[in-house]
């Protein structure tokens, strides 16, 4: 593919591109690396290697002090939302009953019109949560 790109560029008299010395990195991989760096800066804990390591998240996200709808954005960020979300995902993924309850909650919310975006009801597609990778 890079050889073809080199030929196309040479036809347009752009000779500074060499297929052997230039690689085009995988865009999703590059985005993943950038997101991981952002998450590392936003959270005070490391991502677990698997779902069997809940202790790190429990200790890091167990305080409920100052939580609520009236808090500021800065206060919410100071409470490590990434650690809290990781804890929730791991709790749901940790058992079949939790996963079933999550699916039931989505179905109930869809049936009762619980999910609203810009004053319009939306339907959430039933999905399972993915492990933090």
Closest CA to 1 of 26, 32, 31: 26
If you average pLDDT over residues 3-18, what whole number do you get? 85
Helix axes 27-42, 81-93, angle to 10 degrees: 110
The span from the CA of 47 to the CA of 131, in Å, is: 10
Confirm whether pTM is higher than 0.85: no
The span from the CA of 122 to the CA of 49, in Å, is: 34
Domain locations in the chain as residue ranges: 1-42
Q: What's residue 71's pLDDT? A: 73
pLDDT at 50 over 50: yes
Most confident of 38-42, 59-63, 94-98: 94-98
Helix, coil or strand: residue 120: strand
Q: How many CB atoms lie within 10 A of CB 45?
A: 16
pLDDT 10s digits, 81-128 = 788 888 888 889 889 999 999 999 999 999 999 999 999 999 999 888
């Amino acid at each position: 593919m890079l050889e073809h790109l080199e030929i196309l560029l040479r036809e347009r008299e752009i000779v500074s591109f060499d297929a052997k010395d230039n690689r085009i990195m995988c865009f999703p991989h590059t985005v993943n690396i950038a997101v991981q760096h952002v998450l590392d800066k936003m959270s005070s804990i490391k991502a677990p290697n698997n779902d069997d390591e809940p202790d790190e998240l429990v200790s890091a996200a167990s305080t409920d002090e100052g939580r609520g709808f009236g808090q500021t954005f800065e206060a919410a960020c100071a409470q490590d939302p990434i650690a809290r979300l990781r804890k929730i995902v791991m709790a749901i993924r940790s058992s079949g009953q939790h996963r079933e309850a999550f699916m039931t909650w989505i179905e109930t919310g869809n049936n009762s019109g619980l999910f609203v975006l810009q004053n319009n009801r939306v339907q959430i597609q039933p999905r399972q949560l993915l492990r933090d990778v």
